[in-house]
Amino acid sequence: MKKLIVLAAAALLAAGANAAYKDGTYTGVGQGKAGPVKVQVTVKGGKVAAVKVLEQKETPMIFKGAESGVVPAIVKANGTKGVATVSGATLSSKGILAGAEAALKQAK
């Protein structure tokens, strides 16, 4: 019985962590190392379907690493919570995450 209660509680927490968003396309801006990072988030079926960086002024090779690590992680996590930054591209990663977070605030 205790195991069942623990599993039910975990399911409720997981459901709350992946709260549904309003469908649409949203844009947000975060701060990277070299300037603003403009991010577009598409929500379909109440979940994050795509994340795209529209504008940024970061060092190209460093930003590419941040983008390839953080963008798919945001989609997989259905938001920014728990998404880690990319080592060596921390500030660029934080810019992407902040932009996505700003966009998702509009979708709530």
Domains of the chain: 20-106 (3.90.1010.20)
C-alpha 96: how far from its chain's center? Answer: 8
pTM score of the predicted model: 0.83
Q: Is 84 helix (H, G, I), strand (E, B) or coil?
A: coil
Average pLDDT, the chain: 89
* Whether pLDDT at 5 is above 70: no
* Per-residue pLDDT reduced to its tens digit, 76-104: 999 999 999 999 999 999 999 999 999 99
Q: How far apart are CA 42 and CA 106, in angstroms?
A: 11
Q: Residues 98, 93, 32, CA angle at the centre, nearest 5°?
A: 65
Q: What pLDDT does residue 63 have?
A: 98
* Per-residue pLDDT reduced to its tens digit, 25-69: 999 999 999 999 999 999 999 999 999 999 999 999 999 999 999
